Chains A and B, each alone.
Chain A
Amino acid sequence: MRRRNSMAVAVIGATALFAMTGCTTDPTVDEPGGGGGDADSVEWFDQEVYDRQAAELEATPEGPEGQPWLQYIDPEMIDTAAYASPGPKKACFSNASIGNPWRQTGWITMNEQLKVLQASGAISEMETRDAQDSDDTQIADIDYFIEEGNCDAYIISPNSTAAMTPAVERACETGKPVIVFDRGVQTDCQTTFIHPVGGFAWGIESANFLIDNLEEGDKVVALRILPGVDVLEQRWAAAERLFDESGIEAVDYFTGADPSEIKKIISDELAKGDVDGVWMDAGDGAVAAIEAFEDAGVDYPVMTGEDELSFLRKWDETGLTGLGTVYSNFQWRTPLLAMQKIFAGEEIPKEWVLPQRSIEKEELAAALLANDGMPDGHYARFGGEDLPGYPTVWQERIIP
Chain B
Amino acid sequence: MSATTTRRRRVRLDSTAIVYLALLGVIVVGALLVGSVGRNFFSDGNIRDILTGMSVLGFVAVGQTLVILTGSLDLSVPYVVSLASLLAADTMRGNPANIAQGVLLALGVAALIGLANGLIVTKLRVNGFIATLGAGLIIKGYLDTMYKGSSGSVPREFQLLGATGLGPVPVSTIIMLAVATLAYLFLRRTRTGHHIYAVGGSLDVARLSGLRTARPIIVAHVLCSVTAALAGLLLASRLGVGSPTVGSQGGYDLLSIAAVVLGGTLLAGGRGTIWGTIGGVAIFAVLDSVMSVMQVNPFLKDVVRGVVIVAAVAVYTGRAVERRRPRFGSASPRADAEERAGTR
Contacts and interface: CB of A to CB of B under 8 A. Distances in A.
Chains A and B in contact, CB within 8 Å: yes
Q: Which of B147, B150, B235 has the most CB of A within 10 A?
A: B150
B61 to A, nearest CB: 15
Given A29-B156, A166-B240, A228 B147 contact: yes
A148 B150 contact: no
B171 A21 contact: yes
A218 B261 CA distance: 55
A64 interface: no
Interface stretch (A157-165, A278-286, A338-346): A157-165
A228 B155 contact: no
Interface string A136-178: 1101110110011000000000001111011000000000000
A84 interface: no
Given A143-B49, A163-B150, A97 B298 contact: yes
A23 B166 contact: yes
Q: What size tier do the contact residues of chain B reach?
A: 35 or more
B259 interface: no
Contacts of B156: 29-32
Q: What size tier do the contact residues of chain A reach?
A: 35 or more
Interface stretch (A67-75, A124-132, A301-309, A357-365): A124-132
B334 interface: no
A386 interface: no
Interface stretch (B3-11, B69-77, B113-121, B157-165): B157-165
Contact of A35 (B95, B235, B292): B95
A338 B12 CA distance: 60
Interface of B is mostly: helix
B182 interface: yes
B153 interface: yes
Given A42-B149, A227-B144, A32 B240 contact: yes
Contacts of B132: none
Contacts of A24: 164-167
Interface of A is mostly: loop
A7 interface: yes
Contact of B164 (A26, A32, A130, A141): A26
Interface of A: 3, 6-7, 10, 13-14, 17, 20-26, 29-32, 35-38, 40-42, 44, 97-99, 127-130, 132-137, 139-141, 143-144, 147-148, 160-163, 165-166, 227-230, 233, 399
26 contacts: A3-B189, A10-B185, A14-B178, A14-B181, A17-B178, A25-B164, A29-B163, A32-B153, A32-B159, A36-B92, A36-B95, A40-B90, A130-B298, A135-B239, A137-B53, A143-B48, A144-B48, A144-B49, A147-B43, A148-B43, A160-B245, A162-B241, A163-B243, A166-B238, A227-B144, A399-B299
